[in-house]
């Protein structure tokens, strides 16, 4: 979920669930993801990847910080799902988003799981948790 989308989400009645979300883009995020995808040492390519990403997107990556906006979603419920062994986005990002989110909020770190594979690794538990999240979220009547 991009930081640009956060204000729009905060003004709509929808409840929000995310899997594998990053807390902030920028050089460190790109370096970690680049290494996770390629296996190559990120310091050698990090600046070039950031420059190309910014050129393609037309946005400064260091200004994309969902962690600064997630709190605005409250009082709408937020559920964050993240894989403990995510090679593209650190689980620390999910913890930072969770800490910055307002209540009500839920965080589930799925063990032994790579980037956005939680549904495939823990299908039954994933379905149960997401159904329960939306059941509770829509029962509250928060707009």
Q: Tokens in use for 63? A: 């200004």
Q: Tokens in use for 22? A: 């990053």
User: Looking at the chain, which runs of residues are DSSP E strands?
Assistant: 16-19, 78-83, 105-110
Q: Tokens in use for 44? A: 């050698």
Alpha carbon separation from 140 to 30, 69, 80, 110 (Å, rounded): 38, 22, 18, 26
pLDDT band at 35 (very low <50, low <70, confident <90, very high): very high
Distance CA 46, CA 140 (A): 44
Query: Tokens 């930081």, residue?
Result: 3
Q: What is the sign of the dihedral through the CA atoms of 75, 91, 1 and 49?
A: positive
pLDDT at 13: 47
pLDDT band at 141 (very low <50, low <70, confident <90, very high): low
What does pTM read for this prediction?
0.83
Q: Which of 97, 9, 22, 93 is nearest to 61 (CA)?
A: 22
Peptide bond just before 84 cis, omega within 30 deg: no
Residue that wins the pLDDT comparison between 17 and 47: 47
What is the average pLDDT score of the chain?
87
Digit-coded pLDDT (tens) for 54-85: 999 999 999 999 999 999 999 999 999 999 99
- Give yes or no for residue 16 having a pLDDT over 90: no
Name the least confident of 14-23, 31-40, 54-63, 100-109.
Answer: 14-23
């Amino acid at each position: 979920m991009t930081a640009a989308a956060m204000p729009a989400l905060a003004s709509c009645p929808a409840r929000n669930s995310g899997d594998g979300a990053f807390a902030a883009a920028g050089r460190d995020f790109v370096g970690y993801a680049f290494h996770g995808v390629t296996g190559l040492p990120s310091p050698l390519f990090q600046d070039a990847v950031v420059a190309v990403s910014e050129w393609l997107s037309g946005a400064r990556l260091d200004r994309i910080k969902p962690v600064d906006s997630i709190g605005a979603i409250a009082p709408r419920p937020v559920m964050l799902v993240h894989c403990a062994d995510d090679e593209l986005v650190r689980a620390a990002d999910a913890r930072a988003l969770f800490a910055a989110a307002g209540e009500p909020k839920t965080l589930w770190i799925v063990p032994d799981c790579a980037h956005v594979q939680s549904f495939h690794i823990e299908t039954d538990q994933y379905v149960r948790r997401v159904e329960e999240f939306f059941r509770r979220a829509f029962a509250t009547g928060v707009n």
